[in-house]
Every structure is written in C-alpha cells, then in structure tokens.
C-alpha cells in the first residue's frame, strides 16, 4: 500500500504521517528512556490509592460522588480547552422530527413514547479526537447525539456510531483521551503513545478492532448507524424498570470507506460528510433513521458470562424492537448558534428514562454537564438551541449571560408566598443495593471474545482492510513490550487475526502466542 494513501486514512491517533525528525526523536525517547516509578498523586499532593476503578456502592451499584479523585480528574479534564470542545470538536448538525410508531407505555411512562407522538429533534454528528475543523475522513468513532424537545423537558440520547466503547470506567477517560490526542512534545498523534496506553487496557480490544475496520471511516453521516452505547433504564407507570440499549438504523443503508477511497475524498474536501448531509436536506432528500431498543430485565443481567452494563460489550441475541422513525429536514440557519452551542448531556433525562449503573455512563452524567458549564456558562440551557419547549421553573438564578427575566422576591423552596410543587411521577426508581463501597473492576470482564466474533463476522475484503489499517500503525510502535502485548490481545481474540498482524509487523509469533495463552478473559 502506498504510504501517503495509508496515512491519510489512519485512525485519528496517527492521522498525520510521521515524517519529521522531531517526531522520530520523541518516539526514540519514549522507546528508550528508562521508566522512573513515582507515586501518582492528586492535585493536593496526596497519593492515589486506585487509579483504575471508581468507588461504587457495592459490586453492581452506582458510582459515588465521594470519589474525590474521580471527580477531580473529570473536572480538570473538562477544563483543558477554552472554548473548543475537548472531544467531539468537529461536528455538524441538523433539525428534524421523531415520530413514534410503537407505543412503549408497557416499558416507559415517558410521554414521547406514546404512539404517533411527534417530537422535534436536533442531531449533532461529530468526530471524537480531532480539533475543530478536522477532516471528516479521519479514522475515529463518530458521535451521534440527539436532543429530543419533549413535552416533559429535553432528553439527550448521546451516543456514537459504534455500539461499544474503549473503556468501561470513567476514571480512565481523561487518560485515554490524553493518549489519543497529539503528543505534548510534537503536537502530532503518535502510535507509540496510543498503544502504550491500550496495552494496559485489554477491554479495548473489541473497540480497537471495530475502529480499525472500515466501520471506523463511515462514508457519510447519512449512511451511518448510531447507538446509545450505554444501557439506560426505562421505568413504567407502575415503577417497574428494565435496562434498554437504543440504536439508530439508517434507512439510507450503512456504507463505509475503504482505505484507498479516503485520499481522493479528503484531497477534495475535508468536510465531505457535512456537504453531503446539507446537500441532501436542501435538495429535499431528507435522511431517516429507525430507532430500535433492546431490553433486559434486572433478573436477566446475571445470566450472561459478561456484565451487560459494561460499555465495551454488545448484547448479542437480544431482539430489537422498533420504536419510531426520525427524519432530518432542516439545516441550521446559523452554524454557531445551533451546532456549536448545542449542549448535549447524558444527564438530560425525563420521567420514564433513567441512567443505569454503567460506570462509564455514571461518570458522563457529571462530566458532560460540567464541561458545558465551563464551555458555555451557567445559563447554557437557556440558549435557544438548548431551551426546552416547556417552562423552566426553579431557583437557579443569575450567573453570566442570564437572560431569564426572572421576577419575584422568592428564590427558594419551600415557600407559601410562591409555592412550587413536586411531581411524584418524576421520582427515581429504587435500586436494591448490597455490599460495601469499593474500588475494584467488574467481576465478569470477558475482554476478548466479542472482538474475535466481530473479526469473524467481517468479509475477507474487510479483514484485509482491517489488517492493513491496524498493522500500519502498529509498525510505528518501537517499544517491543507494548507492541507484543497489543498483538497478544488481538491473538487472544482470534488466532488468525493475531497471526496476520504478527506477520504484517514482523513480530515473533511464538512469543506473542505464549503471551496470548497466558491471558484470561
């Protein structure tokens, strides 16, 4: 494969060709410098006891706010860029409408799920790692975030085009993004840093396999599926809840780019997906997606040999139930006011939809709202693109850019002078808890099996492309331990997959096979 052709289509971690002496020098330093072990600390200098696992209420309970280290990492991470988004900086959006075709009242009391209900939506598609105005051909997950302006407030379904994620605990999210972002020395994405990190994160094997396949380079936003990634809870009028994963299935079909197609597209236009989306809408060819849901009962969670609330896993064999159809039919009149100022947050939920105990989701509940406050100010939800259709009545007052025109002498609750009532329908469901607070990984990790199953589901051509894409970046890794560890992860997922990568990068197959044999799922 031509080097420049391959480099243009690479994963976002290494989208630029490693051509300069500065880059080579920084990689040599990384590969050869002896490791100096120092104690990891918080910002106040106190040592960190566990940087791998968030504190949770027992083995299956939610993440605890008392985990100061987790909160500090997320707070500091959210404030690293001003005012550009730290992740999902490059994006495009469109207005539309969602129509329910199947009444979900048996599962959820949310009014938007009543049959024939039409709900205005705004969708923002994005790449994750590149800075603003990055190329839309970049090998990277694609954000697929939808804001539903419902009768009960806004619900944000904030997901990706791929149905899983790299990591399962939000405490590792800042570390992961730091590894994927450009080097602090060269300001270029470097495979050495990427795979140094992921060689310590075996659960990433599944997501890396998907991203390095052609699914990592969707052809257009219109021809791209979406996923909630996380399980949410649907709560009905009786207070019963189930766990649910949502998916967007493109009615235009799903199409991805092969490595050799990328240079021609990127050479003509780095915003080809935006041009395609806007062109279709302006021509009256409104793109559509069907929303489906997979459902598991609480008592079914323990029946799997993996944790169904692990964001690195799909739910194979669980049927999908169609909920409704979304159509995008209007281009924003002002890109900045809509696409740049839209503020999606997984914590924007309505009665009948709740967060699950998924550890990645639990961290995102805090992180997304916190970063929107930092990026757009305290009153970001009163901006027109974020403003709910229903009236907002609370005592959150003042702050920068306050335009609420609030009146009255009562800015507290309870009050007899200006009472505000609570709605019992909006009370959260009850989660049974056991055990003690803890910092430990989940019990059933199953890090490699689904990666192998995905590899074997690909066609021969798609496997060839995957090997070419992934080996191209692995060849740039100079640290032998990192390289062999990564190869053993892929070998553990599927022996043919690992062996082909070993041959492509010129590694020792016997050593890699032995490392793979020692790995546990």
First to last CA, the chain: 34
What domains lie within the chain, and their CATH numbers? 91-390 (2.40.180.10), 448-518 (no CATH)
Closest of 379, 308, 388 to residue 348, by C-alpha: 388
DSSP characters over 404-425 = ----SS--SSS-SSS-----GG
**What's the count of helices (H) and strands (E) in the chain, helices before strands?**
15, 12
- Mean pLDDT within 415-421: 86
Q: 289 Cβ partners below 8 Å, 6+ apart?
A: 225, 226, 248, 249, 250, 251, 325, 326
Chain centroid offset of residue 513 CA: 32
For residue 35, the model assigns a pLDDT of 63
Residues 6 or more apart from 175 whose CB is under 8 A from it?
A: 197
pLDDT at residue 286, rounded to an integer: 98
Q: Phi and psi at residue 313, in whole multiples of 5°?
A: -125, 145
What is the structure's pLDDT at 279? 97
Question: pLDDT tens digits, residue range 260-296?
Answer: 999 999 999 999 999 999 999 999 999 999 999 999 9
What are the b/e assignments for 230-261, b being 16+ CB within 10 Å?
bbbbbbbeeeebbbbbbbbbbebeeebbbbeb
Q: Are strands 153-160 and 142-150 parallel, antiparallel or unpaired?
A: antiparallel
Q: For 116-138, b where at least 16 C-beta lie within 10 A, e where not — what string?
A: ebebebbbbbbbbbbeeebbbbb
Residue 36 has pLDDT above 70, yes or no: yes
Mean predicted confidence (pLDDT) in 24-36? 51
pLDDT at 254 over 50: yes
**pLDDT, position 393:** 83
The mean per-residue pLDDT over the stretch 491-519 comes to 97
How far apart CA 176 and CA 182 sit, in angstroms, is 12
Q: Which of 163-167, 188-192, 377-381, 498-502 has the lowest mean pLDDT?
A: 377-381
Q: In this predicted model, what pLDDT tens digit does every residue of 359-412 receive, in sequence order?
A: 999 999 999 999 999 999 888 889 999 999 988 888 787 887 787 777 888 887
- Overall average pLDDT of the 341-358 stretch: 95
pLDDT tens digit sequence for 423-482: 888 888 998 888 898 999 999 999 999 999 999 999 999 999 999 999 999 999 999 999
Our answer to whether residue 160 is catalytic in this structure is yes
Under a CB-based contact definition with an 8 Å cutoff, are residues 188 and 10 in contact?
Answer: no
Q: What is the pLDDT of residue 8?
A: 38
Q: Are 293 and 246 in contact (CB under 8 A)?
A: yes
Q: Which of 53, 69, 154, 160 is catalytic?
A: 160
Residue 513 pLDDT exceeds 70: yes
| Poorest-pLDDT segment among 51-65, 471-485, 495-509 | 51-65
User: Which residues are annotated as part of the binding site for heme?
Assistant: 368
Give the span between the Cα atoms of 191 and 212, in whole angstroms.
Answer: 13
User: Is residue 489 annotated as a catalytic residue, yes or no?
Assistant: no
Predicted model pTM? 0.86
Closest CA to 137 of 327, 9, 268, 246: 9
Averaged pLDDT, 66-95: 85
If residue 165 lies in a helix (H) or strand (E), which one and from where to where? Answer: none
User: What is the model's pLDDT at position 13?
Assistant: 41
Across 27-50, average pLDDT: 69
What is the per-residue pLDDT across 303-334, written as a single tens digit (0 to 9) for each? 999 999 999 999 999 999 999 999 999 999 99
Q: How confident is the model at residue 34 (pLDDT cuts 50, 70, 90)?
A: low
pLDDT exceeds cutoff 70 at 91: yes
Tell me the mean pLDDT in the region 7-32: 42
Cβ(384)–Cβ(337) below 8 Å? yes
In total, the chain counts a number of residues equal to: 521
* Residue-averaged pLDDT of the chain: 90
Residue positions in the annotated binding site?
A: 368
| pLDDT per position as a tens digit, 130-166 | 888 889 999 999 999 999 999 999 999 999 999 999 9
Beta strand ranges found along 51-102 (DSSP E): 56-57, 91-100
Which phi and psi angles does 241 have, rounded to 5°? -130, 155
**Three-class secondary structure of residue 437 per DSSP:** strand
Q: 400 or 10, which is more confident?
A: 400
Q: Does pLDDT of 10 surpass 70?
A: no
Residue of 88, 95, 206, 489 with catalytic role:
88
DSSP 8-class letter at 473: H
Q: Which of 66-75, 171-180, 315-324, 446-455 has the lowest mean pLDDT?
A: 66-75
How many CA atoms lie less than 13 Å away from 302 in the CB half-sphere?
4
Closest CA to 116 of 133, 135, 129, 103: 103
Over the stretch 202-246, which tens digit does the pLDDT of each residue have? Answer: 999 999 999 999 999 999 999 999 999 999 999 999 999 999 999
d(CA 444, CA 446) in angstroms, rounded, equals 6
CA dihedral 127, 133, 135, 141 (to 10 degrees): -10
């Amino acid at each position: 494969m031509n080097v420049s052709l391959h480099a243009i289509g690479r994963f976002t971690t290494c989208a630029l060709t490693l051509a300069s002496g500065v880059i080579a020098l920084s990689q040599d330093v990384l590969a050869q410098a002896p490791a100096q072990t120092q104690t990891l600390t918080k910002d106040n200098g106190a040592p960190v006891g566990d940087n791998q696992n968030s504190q949770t209420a027992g083995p299956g309970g939610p993440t605890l706010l008392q985990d100061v280290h987790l909160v500090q990492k997320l707070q500091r991470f959210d404030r690293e860029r001003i005012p550009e988004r730290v992740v999902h900086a490059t994006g495009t959006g469109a207005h539309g409408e969602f129509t329910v075709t199947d009444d979900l009242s048996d599962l959820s009391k949310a009014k938007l799920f009543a049959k024939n209900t039409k709900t205005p939506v705004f969708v923002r598609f994005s790449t994750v790692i590149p800075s603003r105005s990055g190329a839309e051909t970049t090998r990277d997950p694609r954000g697929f975030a939808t804001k539903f302006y419902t009768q009960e407030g806004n619900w944000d379904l904030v997901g990706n085009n791929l149905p899983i994620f790299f990591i399962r605990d939000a405490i590792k999210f800042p570390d992961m993004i730091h590894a994927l972002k450009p080097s602090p020395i060269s300001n270029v994405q470097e495979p050495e840093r990427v795979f140094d990190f992921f060689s310590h994160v075996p659960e990433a094997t599944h997501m890396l396999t998907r991203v390095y396949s052609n699914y990592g380079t969707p052809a257009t936003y219109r021809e791209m599926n979406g996923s909630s990634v996380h399980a949410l809870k649907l709560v009905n009028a009786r207070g019963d809840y189930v766990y649910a994963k949502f998916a967007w299935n493109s009615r235009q079909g799903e199409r991805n780019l092969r490595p050799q197609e990328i240079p021609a597209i990127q050479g003509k236009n780095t915003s080809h997906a935006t041009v395609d989306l806007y062109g279709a809408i302006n021509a009256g060819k409104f793109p559509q997606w069907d929303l489906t849901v997979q459902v598991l009962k609480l008592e079914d969670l323990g029946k799997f040999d993996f944790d169904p609330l692990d964001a690195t896993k799909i739910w194979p064999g669980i049927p999908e139930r169609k909920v409704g159809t979304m159509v995008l039919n209007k281009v924003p009149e002002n890109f900045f006011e809509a696409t740049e100022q839209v503020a999606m947050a997984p914590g924007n939920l309505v009665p009948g939809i709740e967060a699950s105990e998924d550890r990645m989701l639990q961290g995102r509940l805090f992180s997304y709202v916190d970063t929107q406050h930092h990026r757009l100010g305290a009153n970001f939800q009163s901006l027109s693109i974020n403003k709910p259709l229903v009236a907002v009545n609370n005592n959150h007052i003042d702050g920068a850019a306050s335009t609420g025109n609030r009146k009255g002498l009562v800015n507290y609750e309870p009050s007899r002078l200006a009472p505000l009532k609570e709605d019992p329908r909006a009370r959260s469901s009850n989660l049974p808890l056991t055990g003690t607070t803890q910092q430990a990984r989940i019990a059933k990790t199953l890090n490699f099996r689904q990666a192998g199953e995905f590899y074997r589901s690909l066609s021969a051509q798609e496997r060839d492309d995957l090997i070419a894409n992934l080996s191209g970046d692995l060849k740039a890794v100079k640290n032998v331990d990192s390289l062999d560890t990564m190869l053993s992860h892929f070998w553990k997922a599927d022996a043919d997959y690992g062996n082909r990568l070993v041959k492509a990068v010129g590694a020792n197959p016997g050593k890699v096979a032995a490392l793979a044999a020692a790995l546990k799922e």
